[in-house]
Amino acid sequence: MKEKLATAAAVAAVVIAGAALSGCALGGDSSNSDDFRGFQSTGPQLPTYWGATIGDQFTGTAAPWDMRPVVRLEDLVGKRMSLVGFSNPFADCTGARCTFIRFPLTPLENVREHGSIPFFSWGSERTPTVLDQPRFRLRNISDGEFDPFIRQFARGAAAWGQPFFLRLDWEMNGEWFPWAESVNGNRSGDFVRAWRHIHDIFDSVGADNVTWVWCPNVSHDKNLGTLYPGDQYVDWTCLDGFNWGPRPNASGWLSFGKLFRASYQQLRQIAPDKPTILGEVASSNYGGNKAAWIHNMLRRIPPGIRGFLWYNANDQGANWPLELASQPLAAFRDGIKDPLFVSNRYGSLTSSPIRPPAPGE
């Protein structure tokens, strides 16, 4: 059930009031005390991309099809985003017949015109989403059944020619998407074969403006190496992670470090030379101090993590959006003002694959 949102004017007022949060208020979450032990990554925090995936709660249309939610959230947190996230499946089957979705030129252009970098997640499924989708089994991709569609999509990317992140079939180590090897009749090894097949098609049509992002979920820490397509097929590694708090089938309140540490260590072993981005990250309000959680995350992100996208959408009854409570929003606003979190100065970006932001950029 979706949370009822405050108006933008009311939220802006509580942000100003919340800016006076005391150190005591932010320090109230003792679970954050061991956040960064064992991250195996030392040194000063480096310049970092930041942004959000924003749902339809502001205007009835999600970003970046409507860019007003981006501007609204930027105004609330006091800074422009360097990343804007969104997603599409292969096909939409909500009507009488399935329609394969073309390359999303309009939302990509909207993000670039804003000066941000698109972070596009592309899922090899159809909607409505169910786990049992025999037509969209991974081996059907690697066997070439979708080659005409994938090639057309890749040609659209090549024709556009501008750099963007492509997070393909994310959270593949879970059991909730039909491209996971544990569901939908998929078999061991199918994920890597399908990924490489799609990547090879993009290469064959000259779509070298794509930055490939491989993004498991933190909650299933099995051997991620068996799902890694290889260094020549991946530009950035990635993690998705949510602090769900005390809800059924969750691990309870987890600090940022406890949530990400084990999986991050695996990434550093699998692909030590790849930069890492957090494709989806958020915390619940329930079971702990969300403002402290955000404060500690933004103050102490390990230097190997060079970007993150806050998941600012209503989902499964969790209150991820920042604008729902004054103190977490104020904590985010205070932390993101650090100049190491780079803003929307990438409207003329041309280099691919996209590199992490450089010091002094």
Q: Judge whether 342 lies within some domain.
A: no
270-313 pLDDT per residue, tens: 999 999 999 999 999 989 999 999 999 999 888 899 999 999 99
pLDDT higher than 50, residue 227: yes
Three-point CA angle 99, 86, 1, nearest 5°: 90
For residue 204, the enclosing domain spans: 8-336
Residue 161 has a pLDDT of: 98
Residue 314 belongs to some domain of the structure:
yes
Could you give the CA distance from residue 179 to residue 122 in angstroms, rounded to a whole number?
11
Alpha-carbon distance 328 to 322, whole Å?
A: 6
Q: Is the pLDDT of residue 33 over 80?
A: no
Residue 3 lies in a domain: no
Q: How far apart are CA 236 and CA 218, in angstroms?
A: 16
- pLDDT at res. 185: 98
**Tell me, what's the pLDDT at 6?**
33
Q: What is the pLDDT of residue 41?
A: 53
Is residue 134 situated within a structural domain?
A: yes
- Copy the structure tokens of residue 120: 């596009």
Does residue 38 have a pLDDT over 70?
no
pLDDT-above-70 percentage for the chain = 87
10 Å Cβ neighbour count for 252? 13
Is residue 180 in some structural domain?
yes
Q: Is residue 1 part of a domain?
A: no
pLDDT at 29: 52
pLDDT in tens, 321-353: 999 999 999 999 999 999 999 999 999 999 999
* Residue 92 lies inside a defined structural domain of this protein: yes
Query: Residue 351 falls within a domain, yes or no?
Result: no
Classify residue 351 as exposed, middle or buried by CB count within 10 Å of its CB (0-12, 13-18, 19+).
exposed
Residue type, 102: R
**72: CATH:** 3.20.20.80
Mean pLDDT taken over the chain: 89
Predicted local confidence at residue 16, as pLDDT: 34
Lowest pLDDT segment from 9-23, 91-105, 121-135 = 9-23
Task: Check whether 222 has a pLDDT greater than 80.
Answer: no
Q: Is the pLDDT of residue 201 over 70?
A: yes
In DSSP terms, 240 is beta-bridged to 217, 280
Total number of domains constituting the chain: 1
Q: Are 76 and 323 in contact (CB under 8 A)?
A: yes
